Amino acid sequence: MDKMLFVGNWKSHKSKQEGELFFHELAGKIASINLAVQDIVIAPPFTFLDQASRLIAERKLPVTLCGQNVSSFPEGAYTGEINARQLKEVAEFVIVGHSERRRYLHESETDIENKVRESKEAGLTVIQCIQNEYDRVFSGTEIVAYEPPSAIGTGNVDTNENIEEVFAVVKKNNPHVRLMYGGSVAPTNIKALKEISNIGGFLIGGASLDVDSFLSLLN
């Protein structure tokens, strides 16, 4: 069986110094985690990715890095964009189609489809976020994170029954994807969420910003 993935999505949080403190604290506490059954992935801001990849190598941390976004274009004249080949230098995973980007940055289905294709071509593993069972899952996506917007950052975690229903539809149409859940995952509800059938991991926002709360989700 695949290991359970715990993906910490820091969103637009933490300076480089705060990121470094997090990694040092993590290094001191990681021995308490059973990594035979679970994997740690962290998606920090772009500004910290390079430093994070050095810290991981230096301290031999069992942590894999993830981009929170990627350009929908290949390399070229696209001011401000970080393309998939550049991201692959510092990360193995990428989050595509997060509802905050759909909402605040007006990301379209075409943008998301292009991001998945670019990422796949560069060798990144795509975690594509969907908001409900009707959102399209694009070819090249290996992991689907179901994240109902009403559950993100609100404390209103979705019910296991709803999550299982969405998973069933996604799995029927995309038999090979791994399924994750995200939205108010916290130390108080993780035990129940782990009971969801077919659950392959969690995308964690707020609770991933603090080492103790993040690690308490894993144990």
State the catalytic residues. 98, 147
How do strand 143-146 and strand 38-43 relate by DSSP bridges? unpaired
How far apart CA 10 and CA 19 sit, in angstroms, is 10
CB nearer ligand PGA, residue 45 or residue 74: 45
CB nearer ligand PGA, residue 44 or residue 183: 183
CB nearer ligand PGA, residue 7 or residue 137: 7
Note whether 205 binds ligand PGA by CB under 6 A: yes
Note whether 185 binds ligand PGA by CB under 6 A: yes
- Residue 31 burial by Cβ neighbours in a 10 Å radius (0-12, 13-18, 19+): exposed
Confirm if 10 and 45 have CB atoms less than 8 A apart: yes
Phi–psi pair at 193, nearest 5 degrees = -65, -30
Note whether 5 binds ligand PGA by CB under 6 A: no
Give the x/- contact pattern for ligand PGA in 131-170, rule: CB under 6 A: ----------------x----xx-----------------
Give the x/- contact pattern for ligand PGA in 92-131, rule: CB under 6 A: ----------------------------------------
Q: Which residue is nearest to ligand PGA (CB)?
A: 205
Closest CA relative to residue 133, chosen from 146, 120, 121: 146
Q: How many chain residues touch ligand PGA (CB under 6 A)?
A: 13
Q: Where are the beta strands (DSSP E) in the chain?
A: 4-9, 38-43, 63-67, 93-96, 125-130, 143-146, 178-182, 201-204
What residues make contact with ligand PGA under the rule CB under 6 A? Answer: 9, 147, 152-153, 182-185, 203-207
